[in-house]
Amino acid sequence: MEVKIGVQHAPREIVLESGQSAEEVERVVAEALAGKSQLLSLTDEHGRKVLVPADRLAYVELGEPAPRKVGFGAL
């Protein structure tokens, strides 16, 4: 699933492909915004962690789960 994170005072958004479900990502974001944790922590499909200070979150956009692409594009 594609996740886009807007960060305050940053010119670009953070885009990552996460293996987590939409419900899991939504729960983690809600906990960060409620003050239960000071960092929003998400893991991408390659196992890399993305950490964003919760007080700097501008928005989080959740995309639809995309099936894996196989083969080459149409000619």
Q: List the CATH number of the domain containing 39.
A: 2.30.30
State the sign of the Cα–Cα–Cα–Cα dihedral 46, 19, 2, 48: negative
71 inside domain: no
Alpha-carbon gap, residue 9 to 58, rounded angstroms: 9
Q: Are 7 and 56 in contact (CB under 8 A)?
A: yes
- Is a pLDDT exceeding 70 seen at residue 67? no
Host domain of residue 3: 1-61
Query: What is the model's pLDDT at position 69?
Result: 65
Query: What is the model's pLDDT at position 74?
Result: 61
> Given its phi and psi angles, is residue 73 left (phi above 0), alpha (psi -120 to 50 degrees) or beta?
beta
Number of domain units in the chain: 1
pLDDT digits (tens, 9 = 90+) for 11-52: 999 999 988 888 999 999 999 999 888 999 999 998 999 999
Query: What is the model's pLDDT at position 58?
Result: 94
- Is a pLDDT exceeding 90 seen at residue 64? no
pTM over 0.85: no
38 inside domain: yes
